Amino acid sequence: MLNNYMLNGGNATLKALRNLPKNTQQDILDYLRDCPLYEAVTANEKDFILVHSGFNNFNKNKKIRDYSSDDLLWARPELDDKYYDDITTVFGHTPTFSYGEEYKGKIIKTSTWIDIDCGAAYGNEPILLRLDDYKEFKLQL
């Protein structure tokens, strides 16, 4: 698990944490410890599941609470993966450019999921998505 964490930006995160005051480090760790693995929300009468990375080992008949933390934190969905038909899953973790150069700097929307990770960790411009109407907002760095 540590190796997977380090391969996914853990080293940069640990270096950044070391530069923070001890009480701020503790606040961040407390927040992460208490943070939910997913959140169900409704916007404009449409249902969404917000999760870090999508779902590993997805099964439409499996309850969300039955997924392990690894299933929700380390998934790398394929473009043709399908999730729930009536709930849109919104996640990051997999930079959209990893699906192909044509997706660089763009949010990917499929019929059942949306990947909002445009690669800000790699210096790309962050993009926010308003779920009410899918309007995108670019942040200038």
What is the secondary structure of the chain as a DSSP string? -HHHHIIIIIHHHHHHHHTS-HHHHHHHHHHHHHS-SEEEEEETTEEEEEESS--TT--TTS-GGGS-HHHHHS----TT----SSSEEEE-SS-GGGG-GGGTT--EE-SSEEE----GGGTPPPEEEETTTTEEEEPP-
Residue 139 pLDDT level (bands cut at 50, 70, 90): confident
* Residue 114, C-beta contacts closer than 8 angstroms, at least 6 positions apart: 88, 89, 90, 91, 107, 108, 129
pLDDT for position 49: 98
pLDDT for position 91: 98
pLDDT for position 141: 56
Encode pLDDT of 76-115 as tens digits: 999 999 999 999 999 999 999 999 999 999 999 999 999 9
pTM to 2 decimals? Answer: 0.86
Residue 69 pLDDT level (bands cut at 50, 70, 90): very high
| Alpha carbon distance 125, 68 (integer Å) | 31
* Of 53, 72, 74, 52, residue with least CA distance to 64: 72
